[in-house]
């Protein structure tokens, strides 16, 4: 019988280090255990809706209050090659595997495609949910399929690339199927021969600094690790969830107007004819970089990262994000969106 604990602190299970309390908490290592736990009777009162939250690595969540329901931590593990063809190897990975450790495993095996995504915090199950991306690469480029447990129908459903409807930090699991499925495994289609993506100037500069003569998966991964480590705080030292806000997308005409007013504004042309703005630049220009109130703050090296310097409440970090949103709207007429899941 699986043990369900009561009134458990989730401080160790979220990268912000927020000391929220779950009314009920348990871990699952298999689909059978998950199915059993989803049957757990939370004994709700007549006016209280039964709630269940599935937690992965806890690197993309902000608890603003105690969780008056059941938190289930996904610990389904395993990495196995399921098939290969001339150019690819197909690898099925348990959703509870640590993402960065999986990337390092791929590099060791010579499987290419995820090296640009080194050091992204969190677990494998979140990679398709978020369509994680960094340094010119997104998960959808190596994604093949996933298996997810339908909470209501209690059965496993297979999702293809098209089924997931990937967008910028988006998928069906964040929109129309939100809270309806638990991702149990993800299958990636990785390249046997590397197709290096060093389109980001910072990567070339870092590899020059490293003295890299021959480009390799290891060298590219290490360059990404070096850059991320220099810009982003380690959650083990300062609580954070990485980028707190998404980079906003605006129409080109609006970008031209902003450029007249702010000549140094950073923007990237998109295939759909719009422009993606650098949210970090906007936040920095509005004066938030390095801001601190109590233990809640905006990181001194990267304005996109909100941090917990020790004992900040989730509600304090949320209020700070509200102030930032408001100031960006007032200064630039741009509406930022949170990337972090607020609970």
Using one digit for the tens of pLDDT, what is the confidence trace for 119-153? 998 999 999 998 999 888 999 999 999 999 999 99
- pLDDT for position 40: 82
Residue 266 neighbours by CB distance under 10 Å: 15
Assign 43 a pLDDT band (cuts: 50, 70, 90): low
1-7: Cβ within 8 A, 24+ apart: 2/26, 2/28, 2/33, 2/36, 2/37, 4/37, 4/40, 4/70
Q: How far apart are CA 230 and CA 310, in angstroms?
A: 21
Pairing of strands 181-191, 143-150: antiparallel
What is the mean pLDDT of the segment spanning 165-179? 89
Which residues are known catalytic residues?
Answer: 169, 243, 339
Sorting pLDDT into bands at 50, 70 and 90, what band is 286? very high
pLDDT range class, residue 48, cuts 50, 70, 90: low
Residues 295-324, mean pLDDT to the nearest whole number: 96
Average pLDDT for 152-161: 94
| Mean pLDDT to the nearest integer, 105-111 | 96
Between CA 133 and CA 28 the distance in angstroms is: 27
User: How much is the average pLDDT of 75-98?
Assistant: 96
* Per-residue pLDDT at 168: 82
pLDDT over 70, % of the chain: 97
Closest CA to 57 of 105, 118, 120, 121: 121
What average pLDDT does range 10-31 have in this prediction? 95
- Residue 145 and residue 140: Cα distance in Å, rounded? 10
Q: CA 156, CA 47: separation in Å to the nearest integer?
A: 31
Q: What is the pLDDT of residue 1?
A: 64
pLDDT for the residue numbered 8: 96
> If pLDDT is split at 50, 70 and 90, which confidence band does 46 have?
very low
What pLDDT sits at residue 97? Answer: 97
Question: Does position 225 have pLDDT exceeding 60, yes or no?
Answer: yes
**What residue ranges define each of the domains in the chain, with the CATH number in brackets?**
5-74 (3.30.43.10), 79-191 (3.30.465.10), 239-342 (3.90.78.10)
CA separation for the pair 63, 300 (Å, rounded) = 23
Q: Select the highest-mean-pLDDT range: 126-135, 179-188, 192-201.
A: 179-188
Q: What are phi and psi of 10, to 5 degrees?
A: -105, 20
pLDDT given for residue 44 in this prediction: 57
Mean pLDDT of 292-305: 95
Query: CA-to-CA distance for 201 and 135, rounded, in angstroms?
Result: 9
Reported as a pLDDT band with limits 50, 70 and 90, residue 47 is: low
Q: Describe the chain by its helix, strand, coil percentages, rounded to 5.
A: 30, 30, 40
Work out the pLDDT band at 3, boundaries 50, 70, 90: confident
pLDDT at position 232 = 87
For residues 36 and 2, give the distance between their C-alpha atoms in angstroms, rounded to a whole number. Answer: 8
**In the predicted model, what is the mean pLDDT of the chain?**
92
Closest CA to 253 of 240, 242, 267, 264: 267
Please state the pTM of the whole predicted model: 0.88
């Amino acid at each position: 019988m699986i043990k369900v604990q009561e009134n458990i602190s989730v401080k160790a299970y979220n990268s912000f280090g927020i000391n929220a309390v779950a009314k009920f908490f348990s871990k699952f290592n298999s689909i059978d255990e998950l199915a059993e736990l989803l049957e757990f009777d939370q004994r709700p009162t007549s006016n209280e809706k039964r709630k269940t939250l599935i937690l992965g690595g806890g690197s993309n969540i902000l608890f603003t209050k105690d969780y008056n329901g059941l938190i289930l931590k996904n610990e389904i593990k395993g990495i196995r090659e399921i098939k290969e063809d001339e150019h690819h190897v197909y690898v099925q990975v348990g959703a509870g595997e640590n993402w960065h450790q999986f990337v390092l495993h791929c590099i060791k095996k010579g499987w290419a495609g995820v090296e640009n995504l080194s050091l992204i915090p969190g677990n494998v199950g979140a990679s398709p949910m978020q369509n994680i991306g960094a340094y010119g690469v997104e998960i959808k480029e190596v994604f093949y399929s996933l298996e997810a447990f339908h909470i209501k129908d209690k059965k496993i459903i297979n999702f293809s690339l098209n089924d997931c409807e990937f967008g910028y930090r988006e998928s069906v699991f964040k929109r129309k199927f939100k809270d309806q499925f638990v991702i149990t495994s993800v299958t990636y289609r990785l390249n046997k021969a590397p197709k290096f993506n060093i389109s980001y100037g910072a990567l070339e500069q870092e590899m020059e600094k490293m003295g890299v003569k021959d480009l390799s998966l290891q060298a590219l991964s290490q360059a990404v690790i070096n850059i991320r480590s220099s810009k982003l705080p380690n959650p083990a030292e300062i609580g954070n969830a990485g980028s707190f806000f998404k980079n906003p997308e605006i129409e080109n005409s609006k970008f031209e107007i902003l450029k007249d007013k702010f000549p140094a504004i950073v923007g990237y042309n998109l295939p759909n004819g719009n422009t993606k703005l650098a949210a970090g630049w906007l936040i920095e220009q509005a004066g938030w970089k390095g801001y601190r109130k109590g233990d809640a703050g905006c990181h001194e090296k990267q304005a996109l990262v909100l941090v917990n310097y020790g004992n900040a409440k989730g509600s304090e970090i949320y209020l700070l994000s509200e102030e930032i949103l408001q100031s960006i709207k007032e200064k630039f007429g741009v509406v930022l969106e949170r990337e972090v899941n607020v609970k």
